[in-house]
Structure 1
Amino acid sequence: MEDVTALQILNLKENKLIGTLPDNIKEGCALEAIDISGNLFEGKIPRSLIACRNLEILDIGGNHFSDSFPCWMSQLPKLQVLVLKSNKFTGQLMDPSYMVGGNTCEFTELRIADMASNDFNGTLPEAWFKMLKSMMTRSDNETLVMENQYYHGQTYQFTATVTYKGNYMTISKILRTLVLIDFSNNAFHGAIPETIGELILLHGLNMSHNALTGSIPTQFGRLNQLESLDLSSNEFSGEIPEELASLNFLSTLNLSYNMLVGRIPNSYQFSTFSNNSFLGNTGLCGPPLSRQCNNPKEPIAMPYTLEKSIDVVLLLFTASGFFISFAMMILIVWGSQMRKQH
């Protein structure tokens, strides 16, 4: 891989290749897409990849790489798809040792970040989500399909294999409008940063099978493009935010096996989800679950003491009316007798 000044696409996916990757890539690297997923590569990602300034896609999923999160790749100005899933990556998302000296972890062009099924740990840093600018705003002058024009005039369409809406699929045309984050099956803990609500272009978010805690951020209600949300098998508590009911494009939802409580939001969108979306939360109630809630919107029953006091008042009014009528009858009879005597 030393001289890659002419090579633009490297696709070696799903073979039985073993060993480590060479770390001697020279300046002038022309690679735009690297897909070596589904092999048996190990070791670290070669740092000399930093020479590939045109790299848009890196898919190394399904290997045996053992490395830390590659913050250094944020120096690749065109990187849009980063797939690290199913390897042996460890450590935090933003390694404090790397951040010393003004280094950043700012992936300004990243649209697909798949880090599922590794050993990443620590909390999800608020600052990292704030730097995903391409998940916040869309450029008006970009093509919708990620592709490469060969020198023979042929077109190569970039691909990536991701889990989307609960299904494992290879996307043959990576649309630039497709925005995904998959952090599932790791060891992240702590709360989800509220800044994730700024990623308004997100279509899919999977943070299942971690140790995340706290409540589900109400800021999720701002993710109007969200189609798939999986927060299952964590330790979330509190109620399901009513704001989620306003996500009109949400077609896949999994909140199962947490510690959520209260009424499931009542909306047309939520009525399309099955019991499986909410299993394992013993404190939840309301449709589609069979457990019913105490409806706070029903008229509140009067306490017994209040009902009794009302009955006493009614009795007093009735009695006073009877005595007044009786007294008037006596006066009328007495007045009649007095007229007869005269």
Structure 2
Amino acid sequence: MIDFDNNSLQGRVPKSLANCVKLKFLNHGDSQITDVFPSWLGTLPEVEVLILKSNNFHGEIEEPQTAFEFPKHRIIDLSHNRFTAIILSDNNFVGEIPTSIANLKGLRTLNLSNNNLRGYIPSTLSNLTVIESLDLSRNKLTGQIPQQVADLTSLSFFNVSHNHLS
């Protein structure tokens, strides 16, 4: 377990953490980290909790050419940063779409397709006022598409196919 929560740490997430192959919990939240998403964190085999909230992470999050499967992750908190893409498809994520995604106000692309997400599409996604692409296809989502999605005037791609929506 490594907990750096609520410090004044600056710079980047140290790549040397990649050597911590038995690490289960990493909290690097509420600091002053300025970096792109450290995708190599997704290759740590035992991490269950990854908290990077409230920093200055920026840019896109997408799968690199190397393995990026979050094999045991249970909690990933990336809220209150400056991400613009998040592509987390094909990761076997389970559970509901977290409402905290709505805190990523600068998000332009969100792809959570081909996971095992269940439950409703949160109406709080309407807070993503600059989102251009939203792909929630190939999950197990239920219920109705929230009316608030119609208010997303920047949305040009919206895919919810292969779910259990009514």
User: Same fold judged by TM-score > 0.5?
Assistant: yes
Please tell me whether the aligned partners of residues 122 and 189 of structure 1 are also in contact (alpha carbons under 8 angstroms). no
Give how far 1:250 is off.
Answer: 0.9
Please tell me whether the aligned partners of residues 118 and 185 of structure 1 are also in contact (alpha carbons under 8 angstroms). no
**Cα distance in 1 for residues equivalent to 2:134 and 2:48:** 21
Under a length normalisation based on structure 1, what TM-score does the superposition of the two structures give?
Answer: 0.37
Structure with the bigger percentage of helix: 1
CA offsets, 1:159-195, max 9 Å, x none?
Answer: xxxxxxxxxxxxxxxxxxxx11121111210011112
* Partner of residue 94 from structure 1, selected from 29, 49, 72: 49
Residues 232-271 of structure 1 mapped to structure 2, 5 A cutoff = 232-261=137-166
Question: Residue 82 of structure 2 aligns to a residue in which SS?
Answer: helix
1:118 corresponds to = 68
Give how far 1:46 is off.
Answer: 4.7
**Cα distance in 1 for residues equivalent to 2:85 and 2:69:** 20
Q: What value does the CA root-mean-square deviation take over the aligned residues?
A: 3.4
Give how far 1:208 is off.
Answer: 1.0
Please tell me whether the aligned partners of residues 144 and 165 of structure 2 are also in contact (alpha carbons under 8 angstroms). yes
Residues 194-233 of structure 1 mapped to structure 2, 5 A cutoff = 194-233=99-138
* Partner of residue 108 from structure 1, selected from 32, 55, 66: 55
Structure index of larger Rg:
1
Residues 269-284 of structure 1 mapped to structure 2, 5 A cutoff = none
Amino acid at match of 1:241: P
Question: Residue 187 of structure 1 aligns to a residue in which SS?
Answer: coil
1:79 and 2:27 are equivalent in the alignment: no
**Cα distance in 2 for residues equivalent to 1:70 and 1:114:** 22
The count of residues paired between Structure 1 and Structure 2 equals 148
Change over 3 Å in CA distance of 1:89–1:218 after alignment to 2: same
Give how far 1:72 is off.
Answer: 6.5
Change over 3 Å in CA distance of 1:93–1:249 after alignment to 2: farther
Please tell me whether the aligned partners of residues 235 and 258 of structure 1 are also in contact (alpha carbons under 8 angstroms). yes
**Cα distance in 2 for residues equivalent to 1:69 and 1:199:** 25
CA offsets, 1:132-176, max 9 Å, x none?
Answer: 3335xxxxxxxxxxxxxxxxxxxxxxxxxxxxxxxxxxxxxxxxx
- Report sequence identity in percent: 26
CA offsets, 1:115-135, max 9 Å, x none?
Answer: 57633245445xx244x3335
Please tell me whether the aligned partners of residues 202 and 225 of structure 1 are also in contact (alpha carbons under 8 angstroms). yes
Residues 30-109 of structure 1 mapped to structure 2, 5 A cutoff = 46-47=15-16, 71=26, 77-84=33-40, 88-92=43-47, 94=49, 105-106=52-53, 108-109=55-56
CA offsets, 1:280-324, max 9 Å, x none?
Answer: xxxxxxxxxxxxxxxxxxxxxxxxxxxxxxxxxxxxxxxxxxxxx
Amino acid at match of 1:113: I
Kindly indicate whether structure 1 or structure 2 has the higher relative contact order, using CA contacts under 8 Å at least 6 residues apart.
Answer: 2
Bigger drift between 184-193 and 105-114 goes to 105-114
Question: Residue 229 of structure 1 aligns to a residue in which SS?
Answer: strand
Change over 3 Å in CA distance of 1:180–1:122 after alignment to 2: same
**Cα distance in 2 for residues equivalent to 1:78 and 1:114:** 18
**Cα distance in 1 for residues equivalent to 2:23 and 2:127:** 32
Change over 3 Å in CA distance of 1:242–1:106 after alignment to 2: closer
Structure with the bigger percentage of strand: 2
